[in-house]
Amino acid sequence: MRVRLLVRQNYWAVLVAAVACFLFEACWYSYFYQAWLSGTGRTEEWLKGTGMNVGVQFGTALVSAAVIAMAISCLTQLTGLQTAVRGMKVALLLWLGFVLTTWATEYVFEVRPLSLFAINCGFWLIGMSLMGAIVGGWRKKWEIDSERAAGAA
């Protein structure tokens, strides 16, 4: 017997979730800028002197957030009813299983400060939860109608 899993992406929800995470990231790192900079062991002059294109940095952050939002959306749909709470739970488990563990390993071997670890992991915990709430809670009309039809049967 072959089972077909159906995942339908709500691209508007993914886009809104990615933009919300991107804007939250801007606020988060603006607030923790000095502590983050100190934790990296770099100076503002060094950052300005790298010649890195800000458009590339922002574009990478936005595309990465969209990919994460899509992954959260897929797993939310595959694990049960699509709700904001389930989306946040899926995001938390993904954060715990992949983000926290990856950063912890890197920080231990790179001997980076715990404050920087808290800033970076804290952002992803809240950012992924925000995206999970958006992609989990924003369902298209056809999803709601099919859910009602299944309940009536």
**Per-residue model confidence (pLDDT) at position 52:** 85
Q: Residue 39 phi/psi, 5° resolution? A: -65, -30
Cα gap 77→73, rounded to integer Å: 6
Domain count, the chain: 1
Q: Which two tokens stand for residue 33?
A: 């800028």
Q: Domain for residue 5, yes or no?
A: no
- 16 is in which domain, residue-wise? 11-25+51-141
pLDDT in tens, the chain (153 residues): 565 568 889 999 999 999 999 999 999 999 999 999 999 999 888 888 888 888 999 999 999 999 999 999 999 999 988 999 999 999 999 999 999 999 999 999 999 999 999 999 999 999 999 999 999 999 876 565 556 655 655
84 backbone dihedrals φ, ψ, rounded to 5°: -65, -40
CB 14 within 8 A of CB 69: yes
Please indicate, yes or no, if residue 44 is contained in any of the structural domains: no
For residues 75 and 90, the answer to whether their CB atoms sit within 8 Å is yes
Position 50 scores a pLDDT of 86
Residue 105: the pLDDT is 97
Helix (H) or strand (E) holding 127: helix 114-137
